[in-house]
């Protein structure tokens, strides 16, 4: 309880006409001097002063809400922190974590057969300690200088036959996603965020998530016949679904067109879980991100080369069938 008889309670200092409360070299702004002493005491009661985190668990809990990361990355960080880091490092004091302990953790993860995942967990722990250093809670980052586990480069190549077999078995909304993934070489998250406003006369302007936080530059993917076909089909399907009359007997609701290009059968943007679930149901033994590698491998420097040719055959067959 602040001393009401004192114009400046303990730990409160006046600087440039404003009162500050100083906690471990942190100056926390309160009120201006001309607002009066009553306003100062009210601000002291209403401004909670959190103590500095002492354990790694407290640090991770403080770091995650303030981390400048995407929603998808935040979910992954939350899973890593809750399932691994809290159990192994949570009770340690921040200053007690040394590089040899981080190295031993990575070695254990490698022996358990989870070496690459151990690298991801080390990256999260390193980001948390960088956050601690910025707030003067830690003197050094124990992850710096610790060599990561060796990772084998994924070399799975999806052949044309494999891709087309899964593509033909997929429902039409998922086909459009797969086609754009091959024709643009875009990541799953970037395809889900593709908007109508990104469609320009000269092509598709894609802002990729990996570069958004660094350069912020957009990548232009020029139109091809195949690319234009699948984009137009996705948009026309939205129009057809929106034109359907609602039917309470079939629990059919009115669907509106979306601002996104790629949507599911309800005209709703694909969620990460929904798209991943749909991809898992496909008859295949390859991963979605293998399409990006196939796009780059087949096309070389021309990302629309081989993929456009392969799907161009599919497009021509559909156009011929429509004329019959």
| pLDDT, tens digit (0-9, with 9 covering 90-100), for 167-185 | 999 999 999 999 999 998 8
pLDDT for 324 beyond 70: no
Please name the fold of domain 160-323: hpI Integrase; Chain A (1.10.443)
| pLDDT, tens digit (0-9, with 9 covering 90-100), for 256-297 | 999 999 999 999 999 988 998 999 998 888 889 888 888 877
Backbone torsions φ then ψ of 31, nearest 5 degrees: -125, 170
Please name the fold of domain 56-134: DNA polymerase; domain 1 (1.10.150)
Of 173 and 157, the one with more pLDDT: 173
* Confidence (pLDDT) at 311: 63
Backbone torsions φ then ψ of 267, nearest 5 degrees: 65, 25
* Confidence (pLDDT) at 85: 95
Same fold, 56-134 and 160-323: no
> At a CB cut-off of 8 Å and minimum separation 6, what does 77 contact?
64, 67, 69, 124
For the chain, which residues make up each domain, given as ranges? Answer: 12-46, 56-134, 160-323
Query: Could you give the count of Cα atoms lying within 13 Å of 9 in the half-sphere of its Cβ?
Result: 18
Question: pTM (2 decimals)?
Answer: 0.62
For residues 233, 239, 240 and 245, what is the CA-based torsion angle, rounded to 10 degrees?
170
pLDDT for 317 beyond 60: no
126-136 core/surface letters (b: 16 or more CB in 10 A; e: else) = bbbbebbeeee
* Confidence (pLDDT) at 121: 96
For residues 171, 173, 179 and 183, what is the CA-based torsion angle, rounded to 10 degrees?
180
């Amino acid at each position: 309880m602040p001393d009401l008889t004192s114009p400046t309670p303990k730990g409160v200092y006046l600087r440039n006409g404003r009162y500050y409360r100083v906690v471990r070299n942190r100056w926390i702004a309160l009120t201006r001097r001309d607002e009066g002493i009553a306003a100062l005491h009210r601000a002291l009661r209403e401004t909670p002063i959190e103590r500095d985190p002492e354990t790694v668990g407290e640090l991770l809990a403080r770091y995650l809400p303030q981390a400048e990361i995407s929603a998808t990355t935040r979910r992954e960080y939350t899973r890593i922190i809750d399932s691994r880091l809290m159990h192994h490092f949570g009770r340690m004091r921040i200053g007690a974590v040394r590089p040899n302990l981080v190295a031993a953790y990575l070695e254990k993860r490698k022996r358990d057969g989870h070496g690459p995942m151990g690298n991801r967990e080390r990256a999260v722990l390193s980001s948390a300690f960088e956050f601690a250093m910025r707030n003067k809670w830690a003197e050094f980052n124990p992850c710096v200088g610790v060599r990561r586990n060796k990772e084998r480069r994924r070399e799975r190549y999806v052949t044309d036959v494999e891709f087309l077999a899964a593509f033909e078995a997929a429902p039409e909304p998922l086909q459009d996603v797969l086609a754009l993934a091959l024709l643009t070489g875009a990541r799953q998250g970037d395809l889900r965020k593709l908007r109508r406003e990104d469609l320009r006369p000269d092509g598709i302007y894609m802002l990729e998530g990996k570069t958004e936080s660094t350069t912020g530059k957009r990548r232009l993917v020029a139109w091809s016949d195949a690319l234009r076909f699948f984009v137009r089909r996705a948009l026309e399907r939205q129009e057809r679904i929106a034109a359907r009359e609602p039917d309470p007997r079939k629990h059919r609701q009115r669907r509106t067109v979306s601002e996104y290009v790629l949507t599911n059968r309800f005209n709703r943007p694909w969620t990460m879980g929904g798209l991943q679930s749909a991809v898992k149901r496909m008859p295949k033994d390859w991963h979605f991100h293998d399409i990006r590698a196939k796009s780059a491998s087949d096309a070389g420097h021309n990302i629309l080369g081989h993929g456009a040719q392969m799907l161009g055959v599919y497009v021509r067959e559909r156009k011929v069938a429509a004329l019959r």
